[in-house]
Structure 1
Amino acid sequence: MSFKPAQWPRKLRSQAWYGGTSRDVIYHRGWLKNQGYPDDLFDGRPVIGVLNTWSDLTPCNGHLRELAEKVKAGIWEAGGFPVEVPVFSASENTFRPTAMMFRNLAALSIEEQIRGQPMDGCVLMVGCDKTTPSLLMAAASCDLPSIVVTGGPMLNGYFQGERVGSGTHLWKFSEAVKAGEMTQDEFLEAEQSMSRSSGTCNTMGTASTMASMAEALGMALSGNAAIPAVDSRRRVMAQISGRRIVQMVKDDLKPSDVMTKAAFENAIRCNGAIGGSTNAVVHLLAIAGRVGVDITLDDWDRCGRDVATIVNLMPSGKYLMEEFFYAGGLPVVLKRLGEAGKLHKDALTVSGETIWDEVKTAKNWNEDVILPLDKALTQQGGIAVLKGNLAPKGAVLKPSAATPALMQHRGRAVVFEDIDDYKAKIDDDALDIDETCIMVLKNCGPKGYPGMAEVGNMGLPPKVLKKGITDMIRISDARMSGTAYGTVILHTSPEAAAGGPLAVVRNGDMIEVDVPARRLHLDISEGELAARLAEWTPNHDRAPSGYAWLHQAHVEGADTGADLDFLKGCRGAPVGKDSH
């Protein structure tokens, strides 16, 4: 892709606030000077907003205040004027009912912060799962020059000589306790091993997946995704990103120049190669909707279908992000995709170079971590999109985390009307269920939960676990953690709370799953299905808070990204009229 940099010098957006001698300009400039800034900082140099999602209640991003200082140092060095701006931080660890409900609120509020304040460019300081997509959505909506700096993953955890992956081993150990294979005291001891340094999950969960997606989209500098949070090279990356955003402003290199359809197709293929989180589906669809690029679930299936999973990381494999970085990180994966003819090599990146120019010399230092194609974890690792009368608009499954023997299966439905119904029944030995059944969870989608919580990877009933069974097919309109695993069919659309066919599945119905054929079928007649749907009535209560009500009223389906309907499209960031 060719990109023609803007002529420099030119009048910057921030000069509407700080340039000149009018009363209004003196008002804006004079107040900022109470921080001790000299006159010449307001002479037309780029004002860069360092949008920081640091929060004590977002532990994944707890080190971003220190990292932001390195970004600001780089901005100063390049002749810019950095202003650090705290923004909405949707913490995966603390927000209830689910952080996903607040992704759109974060994107909405951050968009307005960018739009309404004197920024010429933005550095997006992200890490925890929803912070990366929410800031990318906001930046795409405003289309000011922007660059992503992630906080990086935690160091490896170890327990009893075994690597412990954050999230992945939480699910594993929890099931082991229910199966009687691990004591509660051992589980509590293992807790201390799961999070032993600053940073995001050390597995290829949603945080590391979205860091990889930002890099594959071209919105972060090459190599950004995998550097551990506490590695000194993470701070170097922050500083050179600070330098780079100043030149991006001078060149007027915007998100819409970088996040093209080719870039999204690169990211989708990359997600398959890394065994990335199913959450990337809803996030990339939402980001594409903001920048105005037409990406659908069909694109996810088309682009990902023949991509091999070559990154041997939990939850699909055995290693963690620390080893991925030492092996060469995402540039090696992108190079492999390019060599296999599965990369749009001319896609532009925030470096000003093409993605191929960034990765063509990358070297793989550990072929047990980044595998050769003939030793891939699975030859078809992209997200599988299933459709049928149970999911007319689609549902997704992650083949690299699923059990091959369950990829074609017909089973009896055991239905849970919502997550509370599941919790009330799952531990009861009287529950009529065995390993051949298919667990069905309703009313956990974008409207139904509300917010589409990560409850789709339902724990198996103890009486099944005690047989040594570790996986069953599970179907829901919910999401699952990127650190989770299993034959889990998610994001079923339309969701139950919107009157989708999932809403009328009954105990004892037979369901057919055929992943190779991309089919998800409720084995009842068309007439019976139509009659059930005609009888269905909504049963979810009005959401208790103001934003939850707004979300429930305006959220779209998972098949289009679960964004708010009135936020779609790139609206730009005009200066607007003075308010004084």
Structure 2
Amino acid sequence: MRSDAMKKGLEKAPHRSLFKALGLTEQELERPIIGVCNSYNEIVPGHMHLREITEAVKAGVRMNGGTPIEFPSIAVCDGIAMNHAGMKYSLASRDIIADSVEVMSMAHPFDGMVLITSCDKVIPGMLMAAARVDIPTIIVSGGPMLPGRYQGRDMSLSNIFEAVGKVRAGNMTEAELTEVEESVCPGCGSCAGMFTANSMNCLTEAIGMALPGNGTMPAVSAARRRLAKLSGMRVVDLVRENLCPSDIMNAKAFANGLALDMALGCSTNTVLHLPAIAHEAGVEIDLDLFNQVSEKTPNLCKLSPMGEHFMLDLDEAGGVSAVLNELITHGFADGSAITVTGQTLSENVSGVAIKRGEVIRSVADPYSASGGIAVLRGNLAPSGAVVKKAGVDPEMLKHRGPARVFNSEDEAYQALIDKQIQKGDVIVIRYEGPKGGPGMREMLTPTATVAGLGLDKDVALITDGRFSGATRGASIGHVAPEAADGGPIAALQDGDLIEINIPENKLDVLLSDEELAARMARWVKPEPKVTKGYLARYAQLVTSSDRGAVLKKL
């Protein structure tokens, strides 16, 4: 066993003495040692219950003859970090998480790992680590939050962000806002819609690194605790079978992840995370592949923020397994891919039917014939930009309007609350990319304010930063190259006409090549916004968003 390097032989007597200081017995040391990474903390609602989930995992490990050893990981709450300097650290935390899991599992050679996650950057960070370390590993999510209820209507976090805009527009009172505030997030779990956290947890099933149900079983359910125990049991078998992430996370698995992404209408942040995970697994995913998969994969679900259904509804409708079964049956996903169950994806989902047709549509009756995400290119985004097209009002799929240019999220938000944005405008937020931000801030506040002000059918947003999975409307992010790298978005001026054509995957500014070149010749690279600490190092190492914002290899 891999753990023999730290526990077997005469020269390992000092090591065994330290294990015995932990209270471990000889019998426990003879068993497979399973590292259990718990990303619990007291500030992230999606992680506040993970001590309980972790104890269930550890019970499962022991039930199947393994010895669990728990260690921690950090986690950022994107909702709490939103709209202030804290959001610069969210995406950047993904690499710290991956590195910390690598450090723990290499310094202490576990035989296998269970990585317990829930929210946005923790999931891809842990999957990146799983691919990098490549020992038998299984992912366990804490599960989605139940929807909140307000005046007989189900709600989630995006509704409270949009409610702020409604108050500013005079369409809601502050007293009503307080009522929404107190009811919209009823308890533990990752926010109740198909935002980034739940998107990534669902995709983890599709790429084969989690047991069926991992993406949708509610955080508060007994089923979630049983799944945790079963995952703990299963990882010990993975060690015995020597089934590793490199056996699972291959090109076929990532293609299945992309297909599910399009069918569910997931967060645009998956366009950052899937390539980054694939990169660690030695599989290259470029933006063109997203469009290729999107063009042929039907969109079968419209979950919040795009529709009225929530993760609880998806779970009741058959969950990810029902969606995958529909995709595999009609040739949109490859059921032969192996998974952590030891069986193929087809075997995992065989016979799982769609139970609520209004939540999961059939391939014969999709919301659209193509997927939920589109990659746009043009003279404004030569290396690509990303939009959740399934969340765009049909009237905004094609739009031409004057640019209103801002050099930060804060400037754009102030203009919105000062009611300086007019119908037809295209809000441009630049210098918020991976390097320029630094950290590529997620900007739910301006997009939700646009919706709350009732402008989501009239105003588009474009940024070299990114948008929350809770965003809806014509919000186009990940513009690459970013402004701080001298991308064309840096040349824009107020009044420039922007042309958006999502059906044709185009994003252009109506300027000649000569004018763009002349403007860029006068462009002066701005001084870094952050000059010390982790973010300063991150800004120097991070690559472009079209490459998944992975760090450069030294």
Q: Give the TM-score normalised by the residue count of structure 1.
A: 0.91
Residue 325 of structure 2 is aligned to residue 335 of structure 1: yes
Percent identity of equivalent pairs: 38
CA distance in 2, matches of 1:289, 1:21: 40
Residue number in structure 2 paired with 1:201: 191
Q: Deviation string for 1:535-575 (max 9, x for gaps)? A: 212114252442111100000111011111128xxxxxxxx
Q: Deviation string for 1:149-184 (max 9, x for gaps)? A: 00001112100111112x221232122112211111
CA distance in 1, matches of 2:287, 2:138: 26
Residue number in structure 2 paired with 1:3: none
Residue 181 of structure 2 is aligned to residue 191 of structure 1: yes
Task: Compute the displacement of 1:413 (Å).
Answer: 0.9
Residue 3 of structure 2 is aligned to residue 17 of structure 1: no
- Number of positions where the alignment pairs a residue of Structure 1 with one of Structure 2: 549
Residue 63 of structure 2 is aligned to residue 73 of structure 1: no
Residue number in structure 1 paired with 2:439: 451
CA distance in 2, matches of 1:543, 1:417: 15
Task: Compute the displacement of 1:63 (Å).
Answer: 0.6
Task: Compute the displacement of 1:530 (Å).
Answer: 1.0
> Aligned with 1:426: secondary structure?
helix
CA distance in 1, matches of 2:93, 2:174: 33
Amino acid at match of 2:15: H
- 1:13-412 aligned at under 5 Å gives the runs 13-22=2-11, 25-43=12-30, 45-95=31-81, 96-98=86-88, 99-165=90-156, 167-412=157-402
Amino acid at match of 1:128: C
Residue 491 of structure 2 is aligned to residue 504 of structure 1: yes
Runs of 5+ in structure 2 lacking a partner? none
Task: Compute the displacement of 1:456 (Å).
Answer: 6.6
CA distance in 1, matches of 2:334, 2:504: 27
CA distance in 2, matches of 1:260, 1:214: 13
Amino acid at match of 2:66: G
Task: Compute the displacement of 1:372 (Å).
Answer: 2.6
1:71–1:240 CA contact under 8 A, matched in 2: yes
Q: Deviation string for 1:15-53 (max 9, x for gaps)? A: 01001121xx1111111112322112222x211000110
Runs of 5+ in structure 1 lacking a partner? 1-11, 568-580
The alpha-carbon distance between structure 1 residues 456 and 39, as it changes in their structure 2 partners (threshold 3 A), is closer
Runs ≥4 residues deviating over 3 A: 459-462, 464-471
CA distance in 2, matches of 1:499, 1:291: 30
CA distance in 2, matches of 1:30, 1:547: 36
Residue number in structure 2 paired with 1:421: 411
> Aligned with 1:19: secondary structure?
coil
Task: Compute the displacement of 1:469 (Å).
Answer: 5.9
CA distance in 2, matches of 1:244, 1:521: 50
CA distance in 2, matches of 1:468, 1:261: 41
CA distance in 2, matches of 1:556, 1:236: 40
> Among residues 547, 550, 553, which one is paired with 1:563 in the alignment?
550
Task: Compute the displacement of 1:91 (Å).
Answer: 3.1
CA distance in 2, matches of 1:137, 1:319: 30
> Aligned with 2:139: secondary structure?
strand
Residue 528 of structure 2 is aligned to residue 537 of structure 1: no
CA distance in 2, matches of 1:33, 1:217: 38
2:163–2:452 CA contact under 8 A, matched in 1: no
Amino acid at match of 1:16: A
- 1:569-580 aligned at under 5 Å gives the runs none
Task: Compute the displacement of 1:123 (Å).
Answer: 0.3
> Aligned with 1:89: secondary structure?
coil
CA distance in 2, matches of 1:63, 1:384: 35
CA distance in 2, matches of 1:468, 1:417: 21
Task: Compute the displacement of 1:90 (Å).
Answer: 3.1
> Aligned with 1:423: secondary structure?
helix
Q: Which moved more, 1:465-474 or 1:441-450?
A: 465-474
Residue number in structure 2 paired with 1:7: none
Task: Compute the displacement of 1:451 (Å).
Answer: 0.6
Task: Compute the displacement of 1:290 (Å).
Answer: 0.8
Q: Which moved more, 1:465-474 or 1:439-448?
A: 465-474
Task: Compute the displacement of 1:129 (Å).
Answer: 0.9
> Aligned with 1:458: secondary structure?
helix
Q: Deviation string for 1:365-402 (max 9, x for gaps)? A: 11111123344333323310101111010001111111
1:497–1:540 CA contact under 8 A, matched in 2: no
Q: Deviation string for 1:488-515 (max 9, x for gaps)? A: 1110001111111111111111111111
Amino acid at match of 1:152: G
- 1:515-534 aligned at under 5 Å gives the runs 515-534=502-521
1:301–1:382 CA contact under 8 A, matched in 2: no
> Aligned with 1:400: secondary structure?
helix
Q: Which moved more, 1:448-457 or 1:435-444?
A: 448-457
2:263–2:372 CA contact under 8 A, matched in 1: yes
The alpha-carbon distance between structure 1 residues 85 and 244, as it changes in their structure 2 partners (threshold 3 A), is same
CA distance in 2, matches of 1:476, 1:468: 17
1:457–1:486 CA contact under 8 A, matched in 2: no
CA distance in 2, matches of 1:179, 1:375: 37
The alpha-carbon distance between structure 1 residues 241 and 459, as it changes in their structure 2 partners (threshold 3 A), is closer
Residue number in structure 2 paired with 1:572: none
Q: Give the TM-score normalised by the residue count of structure 2.
A: 0.96
CA distance in 2, matches of 1:459, 1:270: 25
2:330–2:363 CA contact under 8 A, matched in 1: no
CA distance in 2, matches of 1:78, 1:152: 24
1:380–1:399 CA contact under 8 A, matched in 2: no
CA distance in 2, matches of 1:312, 1:220: 23
2:436–2:483 CA contact under 8 A, matched in 1: yes
2:424–2:458 CA contact under 8 A, matched in 1: no
> Aligned with 1:14: secondary structure?
helix
CA distance in 1, matches of 2:527, 2:459: 28
Backbone CA RMSD of aligned residues = 1.8
Amino acid at match of 1:450: P
Q: Deviation string for 1:197-254 (max 9, x for gaps)? A: 2111110111110100111110001121100011101000000100110111111111
Task: Compute the displacement of 1:457 (Å).
Answer: 6.7
1:266–1:343 CA contact under 8 A, matched in 2: yes
CA distance in 1, matches of 2:228, 2:315: 16
CA distance in 2, matches of 1:447, 1:531: 24
